[in-house]
Structure 1
Amino acid sequence: MEKNKLNNLKLMAISLLVGLVSGLVVGAFRWLIGLLQSYWLYSFRLVHSNHGYWILIILGLLLTGLIAGYLVKNEPHAGGSGIPEVELQLQGKLQLNWWNILWRKFIGGILAIGSGLFLGREGPSIQLGAAVGQGISSKCSKTNQRVLLAAGAASGLSAAFGAPLGGTMFVLEEVFHNFSPRVWLNSLTAALAANFLVSNLFGQHPVLAIPYNHSFSVNLYWHLLVLGVLLGIIGRIYQCGLLNGKKIYAKIPLPRWLHGLIPLGMLIPIAYFVPQVIGGGNQLILNWHGFTTIEILFLVFLLRISFSIISYDSGLPGGIFLPILTMGALLGALYGMIMVKLGLLPRVLIVNLVIFSMAGLFSAIVRSPFTAILLITEMVGSLLHLMPLAVLALVAYLVNDLLGGKPIYESLADRMEHSNIADYADNVDQLTVSIFENSKLADKEIKDVAWPSKTLVRLIHRGAHDIIPTGKTKLLAGDLVVLEIDSNARGCIYDQIKDMQK
């Protein structure tokens, strides 16, 4: 027992190191993206007075597309958000060279996101953190490698958003799909370390410090139901668009690695005429009240949702995390302004809907309601209005579910898995699975379960106790079951156990 405690402390110390290094990497990533975006905005302001700058802008964006595309061409998994890759790595279905991912994602992400495309830094930050965790854990056991990879992913999101709790919850709820104490404890340690470092670099103010002091009274909760239905439907449309956008790109007679030139070319008129809407959307969320009419706000939303899909499906490094929150904020503002015009909502409550809708749309598209609630609470920096925020997140989630929506990152990972046969690790490995409430495995004795081939039940974590099982040991909801497996079949066994519980 003392040895286990010592090993746990050692793992936590390594997680702390992962968090600090991830914070340093993602902090530099954030800073350089902001610097590059400021340069592009300045360049587009200059072109209004001196048209000679057009040549420099066109050449600059062309070079951006060529460099970022070439980086992805030689390492396809450095493109996109990176979250599907991290999911597959944690499931044992994908093996990546962490250094190749780290430097290519870092440079390619700065170029693509910093250009002003509608891409977010959060997904790439998660993959950067995961790469750091993978690199630092290279000499650890395979089980600890996955724990540290998850810790790196959590620290990446924490550093990107200044949200250690949201970062930890996202990894547990959406990426790792496991609430193992070893995972959440080390993920939280790394996330707190990353947030500490980044806070000292960028300050301790919330990323989306939107003041809202008026309570959303219960008699107005019907707005949350109506808005939740709208967000669920829009979320499903966005999911379909994102998953099918690559089919359109495939019909364009250009090599895949050059597809990024298309959104970069489309960015030029957008940045020239409406520079305030470019980028991931952080400033747009903070300055949503700058759009004074419903018609303009609606057009901005249409631009954001369509160009977000075009930007992401081009394959350039960049995520959809912040773009989703931006679209949610715009929808909340749009709905609020319409209701105010109809005399059904006080104007001071529009800002409430802006904040609630960010959580609602994120919950609908990503299908991670707990993460949505925690993340928006941390980003805004207020715990005052959790109830309406949670209600809207739940309604949007349920509507999207009824429409057949699936978690977007899981859907992207499934497509990646089917199109790219992964390399697997080798030798004996361990897999920890949770026995969920209403699982078909709950209340069954171990001997009565048709376990996958080459699978041995080694240990059961039940509350604060560890149980060495026998064939007659009954599985209970809430148990964490440690399986010894053939590492070559880890991904297949993971899927089989998941199906067995349904």
Structure 2
Amino acid sequence: MLKKLHTTDQTRLYFILKGGIVGIISGVLVSIFRLTIEKMTEYVQHFYLFAQEKPLWLIFWAMLSIVVAIFIGYLIKAQPHISGSGVPQVEGLLQEEIHYRWFPVLLNKFVGGILAIGPGLFLGREGPSIQLGASVGQGLSSTYDSPKYEQKILISSGASAGLAAAFNAPIAAVLFIVEEVHHTFSPLIWLTSLVSSIIANFISLYIFGLQPVLYLGHMEDLPLKYYGLLLILGVFLGVLGRMYQKNLLNLPKWFNKLPIPSPFYGLVPLLLVIPIGFYFPNLLGGGNQIILNLEENSHSLYLLLLLFLLRYLFSMISYGSNLPGGIFLPILSLGAILGALFGVFSIEYLGLESFYLKNFIIIAMAGYFTAIGKAPLTAIILVTEMVGSINHLMPLGFVALIAYIVVDSLGGHPIYESLLDRLVSFKKIADPNEKIVIEFPVTAESILDGMPVRDFVWPEETLLVSIRRNEQDILPHGDTILRMDDTLLILTDTDHATDVRRQLRKKTLIK
């Protein structure tokens, strides 16, 4: 017993060490990435202010934008997996549905992300940061020729470190890996991700300062008498979140009608952003400055509605172009605008005190993010860490829950999972005859909990080879009883892996 405990401790110390290395490298890399984007966006805004006095300079800017779009297009053509946010690619890599070499993706994503987000497109830095961190973890595991399970742990910890450095939200970064990427709890993944996130966040704080990314100052507690308004807000955000999901997934249909190759779709947003930057330079970027200004400046309902429509439409155009950029921050900014819209309406027509507007802005960010990502815990903690206040945890949880129920009843699925399904269906990445082992968790709502192995009708083309329970591997027999928190290791081939996962999810949920 003591020997087993000693071995377990040594294993955890080993992963703490490697998680620390991943956190240091990812923290430095993502902080440079974030700093470069912020400085570049500032310079671009100054250019548009200058161009308002000398509009002829816009011709030069348009030509430069075309060159940048073509260059990014060639980067995407060389490494297709750098397109978009990068989160679906990381999930696919962990599920062994996608395979790519880490260094070309890291290099091209770093350069392409700066060139795509820096000019002021409505894209976020967090998705690319997650993929950059995951590539660091993948690279470290390749350097040490790590076994497959260790590769996945280091990739997960790198992704967590990337998100932590991008938003200074280390706890939300760990929750994102557990809730959104793996959908199950693994002590080693949690521990390694926590170490890498804390270290990466420390590096980012050293560079960017201790103030939270979306610090809005002191907030009053929202009285319970306004929870009826929060119920309406949750329903409102759930419906609009489902609309966002549908529109985002339909973007390829619209862009495929363009008479240009898909790697060069970036020409469209990089040219369309020029008139936006010329007339509204303060609206450029992922949206963090917009969130900070919503409460400071009084906006009419009409102006907020126009702002939402502009941000919504152009964020769709920006992301649908396949440029390397994320949707985290654009989603949060859209949620904040919806919160301000709802808050101003409540102030003008329902008697809400004006100083509660800030509360609705913050609460709506979490609700809208939950409705689109279907990751309520991540949304609640992410917004809490980004605004630097815990006063709103109860209303955040309430609205997130309502939004989740609404979008679930409307048939919504986690957006990154849907994007991964679409990505895998478009491409056959791996050799269809290659055998792989997929991991499937036994959760509390699964019919497998308490069931003997022989009583479950397993999908075709599968073989249950092992059960991982409490950090031990169990060789399964027909009379082996499955338990909650077990991880099933199932042998199949790459051609059936996606369908096997889908069948298992469908067949094991309690009806």
Q: Which residue of structure 2 aligns with residue 131 of structure 1?
A: 135
Q: Which residue of structure 2 aligns with residue 21 of structure 1?
A: 25
Offset, 1:55: 2.8
What pairs with 1:272-421 in structure 2 (closer than 5 Å)? 272-289=278-295, 290-421=297-428
What pairs with 1:217-232 in structure 2 (closer than 5 Å)? 217-232=223-238
Normalising by structure 1, report the TM-score: 0.95
SS of alignment partner, residue 458 of structure 1: strand
Offset, 1:77: 1.0
Identify the match of residue 261 of structure 2 among 255, 259, 265.
Answer: 255
Q: Deviations over 1:382-418 (max 9, x none)?
A: 1122000110111111111112211111111111111
Identify the match of residue 244 of structure 1 among 246, 250, 257.
Answer: 250
Measured in 1, the distance between the counterparts of 2:435 and 2:161 equals 28
Letter of the structure 1 residue corresponding to residue 246 of structure 2: C
Q: Deviations over 1:415-449 (max 9, x none)?
A: 11111112269988654432112312111012323
Change (3 A) 1:418 1:465: closer
Q: Which deviates further from its counterpart, 445-454 or 395-404?
A: 445-454
Q: Which residue of structure 2 aligns with residue 501 of structure 1?
A: 508
Letter of the structure 1 residue corresponding to residue 88 of structure 2: P
Q: Which residue of structure 2 aligns with residue 108 of structure 1?
A: 112
Q: Which residue of structure 1 aligns with residue 440 of structure 2?
A: 433
Measured in 2, the distance between the counterparts of 1:390 and 1:107 equals 38
Change (3 A) 1:494 1:14: farther
The yes-or-no answer on 1:8 pairing with 2:12 is yes
Q: Which residue of structure 2 aligns with residue 40 of structure 1?
A: 44
SS of alignment partner, residue 250 of structure 2: helix
What pairs with 1:80-91 in structure 2 (closer than 5 Å)? 80-91=84-95
The yes-or-no answer on 1:199 pairing with 2:202 is no
The yes-or-no answer on 1:117 pairing with 2:124 is no
Q: Which deviates further from its counterpart, 285-294 or 370-379?
A: 285-294
The yes-or-no answer on 1:458 pairing with 2:466 is yes
Letter of the structure 2 residue corresponding to residue 22 of structure 1: S
Q: Which residue of structure 2 aligns with residue 186 of structure 1?
A: 192
Offset, 1:487: 6.8
Letter of the structure 1 residue corresponding to residue 47 of structure 2: S
Change (3 A) 1:425 1:250: closer
Offset, 1:451: 4.0
Letter of the structure 2 residue corresponding to residue 252 of structure 1: L
Q: Which runs of 5+ in 1 are unaligned?
A: none
What pairs with 1:96-175 in structure 2 (closer than 5 Å)? 96-138=100-142, 139-175=145-181
State whether residues 69 and 264 of structure 2, in contact with CA within 8 Å, keep that contact through their aligned partners in structure 1.
yes
Measured in 2, the distance between the counterparts of 1:330 and 1:435 equals 39
Q: Percent identity?
A: 42
Change (3 A) 1:180 1:225: same
Offset, 1:482: 4.4
Measured in 2, the distance between the counterparts of 1:140 and 1:428 equals 19
State whether residues 176 and 378 of structure 2, in contact with CA within 8 Å, keep that contact through their aligned partners in structure 1.
yes
Offset, 1:183: 1.3
Offset, 1:194: 0.8
State whether residues 125 and 156 of structure 1, in contact with CA within 8 Å, keep that contact through their aligned partners in structure 2.
yes
Offset, 1:450: 3.7
Measured in 2, the distance between the counterparts of 1:454 and 1:45 equals 61
Measured in 1, the distance between the counterparts of 2:160 and 2:432 equals 23
Measured in 2, the distance between the counterparts of 1:130 and 1:30 equals 16
Letter of the structure 2 residue corresponding to residue 123 of structure 1: G
State whether residues 147 and 186 of structure 1, in contact with CA within 8 Å, keep that contact through their aligned partners in structure 2.
yes
Change (3 A) 1:215 1:4: closer
Q: Deviations over 1:237-269 (max 9, x none)?
A: 111111112211111111212211111111111
Q: Deviations over 1:124-153 (max 9, x none)?
A: 111111111111111100011011111111
Q: Which deviates further from its counterpart, 113-122 or 446-455?
A: 446-455
SS of alignment partner, residue 36 of structure 2: helix
SS of alignment partner, residue 96 of structure 2: coil
Offset, 1:48: 1.5
Offset, 1:81: 0.3
Offset, 1:170: 0.8
Q: Which deviates further from its counterpart, 7-16 or 85-94?
A: 7-16
SS of alignment partner, residue 466 of structure 2: strand
Q: Which deviates further from its counterpart, 351-360 or 417-426?
A: 417-426
Measured in 2, the distance between the counterparts of 1:142 and 1:21 equals 21
State whether residues 216 and 349 of structure 1, in contact with CA within 8 Å, keep that contact through their aligned partners in structure 2.
yes
Offset, 1:493: 4.6
Change (3 A) 1:327 1:437: same
Identify the match of residue 62 of structure 1 among 60, 63, 66.
Answer: 66
Letter of the structure 1 residue corresponding to residue 241 of structure 2: G
Normalising by structure 2, report the TM-score: 0.93
Offset, 1:465: 7.8
Change (3 A) 1:454 1:335: closer
Offset, 1:472: 2.7
SS of alignment partner, residue 287 of structure 1: helix
State whether residues 212 and 351 of structure 1, in contact with CA within 8 Å, keep that contact through their aligned partners in structure 2.
no
Identify the match of residue 473 of structure 1 among 463, 475, 480.
Answer: 480
Root-mean-square deviation (CA, aligned residues, Å) is 2.0
Measured in 2, the distance between the counterparts of 1:456 and 1:394 equals 35
Measured in 1, the distance between the counterparts of 2:220 and 2:118 equals 36
How many residues align? The count is 500
SS of alignment partner, residue 433 of structure 1: strand
Q: Which deviates further from its counterpart, 109-118 or 281-290?
A: 281-290
Q: Which runs of 5+ in 2 are unaligned?
A: none
Measured in 2, the distance between the counterparts of 1:395 and 1:113 equals 33
Measured in 1, the distance between the counterparts of 2:283 and 2:212 equals 21
Measured in 2, the distance between the counterparts of 1:380 and 1:55 equals 40
Letter of the structure 2 residue corresponding to residue 100 of structure 1: P
State whether residues 457 and 481 of structure 1, in contact with CA within 8 Å, keep that contact through their aligned partners in structure 2.
no
Identify the match of residue 269 of structure 1 among 244, 266, 275.
Answer: 275
Measured in 2, the distance between the counterparts of 1:56 and 1:103 equals 28
